[in-house]
A = this chain, B = another copy of it.
Amino acid sequence: MKVVIVGGVAGGASTAARLRRLDERAEIVLLERGPYISFANCGLPYYIGGIISDRQKLLVTTAQSMSTLFNVDVRPDSEVVAIDRAGHKVRVRERSLNGTCHEYEESYDKLVLAPGAVPLRPRLPGIDHPRVFTVRNIPDTDAIQKFITENHPKTAVVVGGGFIGLEMAENLYRRGLQVSLVEMAPQVLATLLDPEMAAFVHHHLRAKGISLYLKNAVTGFFSQPDGSLQIALQHGSPLSTDLAILAVGVRPETALARQAGLEIGAAGGIAVDAQLQTSDPDIYAVGDAIETPDWVSGRRAPVPLAGPANRQGRTAADALAGRPAQYAGALGTAIVQVFDWAVAATGSTERSLQEAGIPFESVILHPLSHAGYYPGGTPLTIKLLFAPKDGKILGAQIVGSQGVDKRIDVLAAAMHFGASVFDLQNLELAYAPPFSSAKDPVNMAGYVAGNVVRGDLAVAHWHQVEALRAAGWWILDVRTPQECKDGQIDGAVNIPVQQLRQRLDEVPKGRPILVYCAVGLRAYLAARILQQRGFGPVADLSGGYRLYDAVTRDKSLIEEDLARLEETA
User: Which A residues fall within an 8 A CB radius of B?
Assistant: 10, 21-25, 40, 42-43, 46, 51-53, 57-58, 60, 65, 68-71, 163, 167, 295, 305-311, 314, 328, 330-337, 342, 344, 346, 371-375, 405-406, 408-410, 412-414, 416-417, 419, 423, 425-436, 438-440, 442-443, 456, 497-498, 501, 524-525, 528-529, 532-533
Residues A414 and B413 in contact in the complex (CB < 8 Å), given A21-B528, A51-B375: yes
A439→B307 CA distance, assembly (Å): 6
A531 (CB) vs chain B CBs: closest residue: B24
Copy number in this complex?
2
Residues A305 and B431 in contact in the complex (CB < 8 Å), given A43-B374, A426-B311, A525-B21: yes
Does B427 lie within 8 Å of A412, measured CB to CB?
yes
Does A373 lie within 8 Å of B58, measured CB to CB?
yes
Does B410 lie within 8 Å of A10, measured CB to CB?
no
Does B413 lie within 8 Å of A429, measured CB to CB?
yes
A430→B163 CA distance, assembly (Å): 13
Q: Give 24 CB contacts A-B under 8 Å.
A: A21-B456, A42-B432, A42-B438, A43-B374, A51-B375, A58-B373, A65-B498, A68-B498, A167-B432, A295-B428, A306-B431, A307-B438, A307-B443, A333-B428, A334-B430, A337-B434, A346-B430, A405-B436, A409-B410, A409-B442, A410-B413, A412-B430, A413-B414, A416-B428
A436→B408 CA distance, assembly (Å): 12
Does B307 lie within 8 Å of A431, measured CB to CB?
yes
A305 contacts across to B, CB distance below 8 A: 431
A436 contacts across to B, CB distance below 8 A: 405
A295→B427 CA distance, assembly (Å): 12
Does B371 lie within 8 Å of A42, measured CB to CB?
yes
Does B373 lie within 8 Å of A60, measured CB to CB?
yes
A371→B306 CA distance, assembly (Å): 12
A372 contacts across to B, CB distance below 8 A: 57, 60
A307 contacts across to B, CB distance below 8 A: 428-429, 431, 438-440, 443
Q: Per a CB cutoff under 8 Å, which of B52, B65, B433, B525 touches A43? A: B433
Does B24 lie within 8 Å of A430, measured CB to CB?
no
Residues A40 and B432 in contact in the complex (CB < 8 Å), given A311-B426, A374-B51: no
Q: Top 6 A-B pairs ranked by shortest CB distance? A: A335-B430, A24-B532, A417-B417, A406-B406, A306-B438, A57-B373
Residues A52 and B375 in contact in the complex (CB < 8 Å), given A334-B430, A430-B408: yes
A408 (CB) vs chain B CBs: closest residue: B430
A47 (CB) vs chain B CBs: closest residue: B373
A501 contacts across to B, CB distance below 8 A: 71
Q: Per a CB cutoff under 8 Å, which of B311, B336, B425, B430 touches A333? A: B430
Does A405 lie within 8 Å of B433, measured CB to CB?
no
Q: Per a CB cutoff under 8 Å, which of B10, B426, B431, B498 touches A438? A: B10
